[in-house]
Amino acid sequence: MKLLLIICFWGGSVIFAAADETRVAVAANFTQAAKEIGRAFELSTGHKVQFSFGSTGQLYTQISQYAPFDIFLAADQTRIEKAIDEGFAVAQSQITYAIGKIALYSANKNLVVGADTLKQNNFTKIAIANPTTAPYGAAAMDVMEKLGVYQKLKNKIVKGNNIAQTFQFVKTENAEIGFISLSQIIQNDEGSRWIVPKELYSPISQDAVLLKTGEKNNAAMYFIEFLQQPIAKKIIEEYGYGIHE
């Protein structure tokens, strides 16, 4: 049974809404930020949110097979546009909720010293997310190719299914270094890192869209709106992302 709430929402306006739950498919790089935004959303609206995390490509496959998600938060724009084109999503709801940034990271505090780390090639394994399904993996490929090191490093590359698994490879030292999302290390100073200049990879515009399965779900519509509010934008920036203006 739905509970009718009186919610004091953004801008001081009072909104009457039924408390619902929304199911959100979220790109793995955005895991921690999404969880914090989810807590803020539930406190602000009374609605509930349930997240499922994975690579953008894997999540899109699930959506195309009619997985019961209401919203899709991708790590790129391509899958969002594909979801719209193939009739799974509501076109006018598409937004850019974050601009991703990548970092070269090692659990070894002395290993990463910038681009020279890649050129010196003093490691046996470098982890990246699968570039076919994960935009952060595609960005890692961009960096290596622009620096002219890909041919030297290609036999050392190990691929995670998504950026979360890639981070685990590096954190557990199964790979000495790896390209990860800056958001995964922004809140600690462990290890060594190089924040990759944005000029070295194609922009990672992370888009969200309301899926057709969520069109009549109040909580889903509120969540898309909430992502664009100052409270959510502040959290997004705190986790190392840029904001689309």
Instruction: From 228, 203, 205, 231, select the one nearest 93 (Cα to Cα).
Output: 228
Highest mean pLDDT among 4-8, 23-27, 54-58: 23-27
Say what the pTM is. Answer: 0.82
Q: Is the pLDDT of residue 103 over 60?
A: yes
Tell me the average pLDDT across 80-88.
97
> Token pair of 168, please?
């685990």
> Token pair of 226, please?
């909430």
In this prediction, residue 245 carries a pLDDT of 67
Q: What domains are there in the chain, each with its CATH number? A: 4-99+204-238 (3.40.190.10), 102-195 (3.40.190.10)
The conformation of residue 92, written as its DSSP 8-state character, comes to: G
Q: Is the pLDDT of residue 13 over 60?
A: no
Phi, psi values for residue 176, rounded to 5°: -65, -35
Q: Is the pLDDT of residue 210 over 90?
A: yes
Tell me the average pLDDT across 77-84.
96
Tell me the average pLDDT across 211-215.
96
**CA dist., res. 137 & res. 28, Å (int):** 12
Task: Kindly report, residue by residue over 125-180, the tens digit of the pLDDT.
Answer: 999 999 998 999 999 999 999 999 999 999 999 999 999 999 999 999 999 999 99
Tell me the average pLDDT across 200-229.
96
The amino acid at residue 233 is K
Round the average pLDDT of the chain to a whole number and report it: 92
